[in-house]
């Protein structure tokens, strides 16, 4: 039982960066903005967070630096997509290319460097629980943070007036503008929030998950996060399920390699991404569900001054 719980905990840790990035992108898309630059934001967050922790030995300074970097770049994207009304897809792809290239360049001096952080864990009295106690002591603070983020975002989405306003902007920005809501400001705030979360997701990968800097460590997780928002049909509770399913597939790949199943390692490495594609294809076949779930103004550049 302990081994099974340890595997589940490992899957949760593997899915945590996806949860951060997917929840951030969900908020962005709920406002009607489609940001396909999550991969680039995660790469920049990863190198910024790693560099900050490497220089200061402080986890939270690294998280702050990564979040600030992701937020700043996402606001630059917002200027293009929201203010200048550039095509959202083109602007997002440009952001991804820019982030990956700049991250690789900035990270060259740190390639192969590793971190040795010994941060206290936020477990409270949970360590006293039978069987589960030792596992709770191994949960990283950023994992706890992702659960708090999920709970807060769920409450914000379904229980608050601000959450309803965000959804209204994504559904009908012209109507929201007509009744006096600052549509562009709301979209900028949502886009900035998504960028901050993508930056923190990247920092989690480089600082916590691997604790070493190598080029390409984000490995397409930004694209998976965007896909998870579709998988979740823009609902936070399904985002957390999808993130941990992908994390479980990643761990299954590692277990398969360790058990020597005789399957080519390249195929095992591709398994999580293949499973994601299959799930998305199956979901996309249900046109009625997609039409009811997707924000009506998603990715549309509208002439709104508010």
Tell me which of 262 and 221 has the higher pLDDT.
221
Task: Give residue for tokens 């940001």.
Answer: 35
Q: Please state the three-class secondary structure of the chain as a single string.
A: CHHHHHHHHHHHHHHHHHHHHHHHHHHHHHCCCCCCCHHHHHHHHHHHHHHHHHHHCCHHHHHHHHHHHHHHHHHHHHHHHHHCCCCHHHHHHHHHHHHHHHHHHHCHHHCCCECCCCCCCCCHHHHHCCCCHHHHCCCCHHHHHHHHHHHHHHHHHHHCHHHHHHHHHHHCHHHHHHCCCCHHHHHHHHHHHHHHHHHHHHHHHHHHHCCECCCCCCCCHHHHHHHHHHHCCCCHHHHHHHHHHHHHHHHHHHHHHHHCCCCCHHHHHHHHHHHHHHHHHHHHCCHHHHHHHCCCCCCCCCCCCC
Cα radius of gyration (the chain): 19
Q: How confident is the model at residue 121 (pLDDT cuts 50, 70, 90)?
A: very low
Distance CA 144, CA 132 (A): 15
Structural domains counted in the chain: 1
Distance CA 110, CA 188 (A): 33
**Structural domain contains residue 135:** no
pLDDT average, residue stretch 124-131: 53
- Residue 61: which domain range? 2-111+140-293
Tokens standing for residue 92: 């997002």
Q: Which residues are within 8 A (CB) of 85 and not within 5 positions of it... i.e. 6 or more apart?
A: 301, 302, 303
Q: How confident is the model at residue 261 (pLDDT cuts 50, 70, 90)?
A: low
Reported as a single tens digit per residue, the pLDDT across 193-202 is: 999 999 999 9
**Structural domain contains residue 306:** no
Query: 114 - beta bridge partners?
Result: 212
Which CATH number characterizes residue 105's domain? 1.10.3470
Predicted local confidence at residue 268, as pLDDT: 67
Residue 101 has pLDDT above 80, yes or no: yes
Tell me which of 264 and 57 has the higher pLDDT.
57
**Structural domain contains residue 228:** yes
Reported as a single tens digit per residue, the pLDDT across 168-208 is: 999 999 999 999 999 999 999 999 999 999 999 999 999 99
Question: How large a percentage of the chain has pLDDT more than 70?
Answer: 83
Q: How many CB atoms lie within 10 A of CB 259?
A: 9
Q: Which range among 100-114, 175-189, 233-247, 271-285 shows the weakest confidence by mean pLDDT?
A: 271-285
**Structural domain contains residue 121:** no
Tell me which of 275 and 101 has the higher pLDDT.
101
**Structural domain contains residue 157:** yes
Q: How confident is the model at residue 122 (pLDDT cuts 50, 70, 90)?
A: very low
Q: Which residues are within 8 A (CB) of 100 and not within 5 positions of it... i.e. 6 or more apart?
A: 39, 40, 43
**Structural domain contains residue 76:** yes
**Structural domain contains residue 66:** yes
Nearest residue to 302 via CA among 181, 212, 174:
174
pLDDT average, residue stretch 218-241: 90
Residue 165 has pLDDT above 90, yes or no: yes
Q: Please state the three-class secondary structure of 281-303 as a single string.
A: HHHHCCHHHHHHHCCCCCCCCCC
**Structural domain contains residue 304:** no
Q: Which residues are within 8 A (CB) of 71 and not within 5 positions of it... i.e. 6 or more apart?
A: 192, 193, 195, 196, 199
pLDDT average, residue stretch 268-291: 70
CB 203 within 8 A of CB 48: yes
């Amino acid at each position: 039982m302990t081994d099974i719980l340890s595997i589940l905990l490992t899957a949760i840790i593997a899915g945590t960066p996806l949860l951060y990035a997917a929840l951030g992108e969900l908020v962005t898309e709920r406002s009607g903005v489609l940001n396909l630059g999550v991969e680039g934001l995660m790469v920049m967050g990863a190198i910024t967070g790693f560099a900050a922790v490497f220089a200061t030995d402080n986890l939270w300074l690294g998280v702050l630096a990564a979040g600030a970097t992701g937020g700043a770049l996402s606001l630059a994207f917002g200027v293009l997509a929201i203010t200048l009304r550039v095509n959202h897809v083109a602007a997002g792809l440009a952001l991804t290319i820019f982030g990956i290239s700049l991250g690789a360049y900035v990270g060259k001096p740190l390639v192969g460097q590793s971190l040795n952080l010994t941060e206290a864990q936020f477990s409270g009295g949970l360590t006293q629980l039978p069987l589960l106690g030792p596992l709770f002591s191994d949960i990283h603070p950023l994992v706890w943070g992702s659960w708090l983020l999920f709970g807060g975002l769920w409450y914000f989405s379904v229980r608050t007036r601000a959450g309803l306003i965000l959804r209204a902007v994504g559904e009908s920005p012209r109507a929201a503008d007509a009744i006096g809501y600052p549509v562009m400001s709301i979209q900028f705030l949502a886009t900035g929030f998504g960028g901050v979360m993508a930056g923190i997701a990247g920092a989690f990968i480089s600082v916590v998950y691997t604790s070493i800097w190598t080029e390409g460590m984000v490995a397409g997780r930004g694209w998976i996060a965007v896909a998870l928002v579709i998988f979740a049909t823009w609902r936070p509770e399904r985002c957390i399920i999808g993130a941990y399913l992908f994390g479980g597939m990643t761990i299954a790949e590692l277990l398969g390699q360790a058990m020597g199943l005789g399957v080519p390692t390249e195929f095992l490495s591709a398994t999580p991404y293949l499973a994601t594609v299959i799930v998305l294809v199956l979901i996309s076949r249900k046109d009625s569900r997609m039409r009811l779930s997707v924000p009506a103004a998603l990715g549309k550049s509208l002439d709104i001054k508010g």
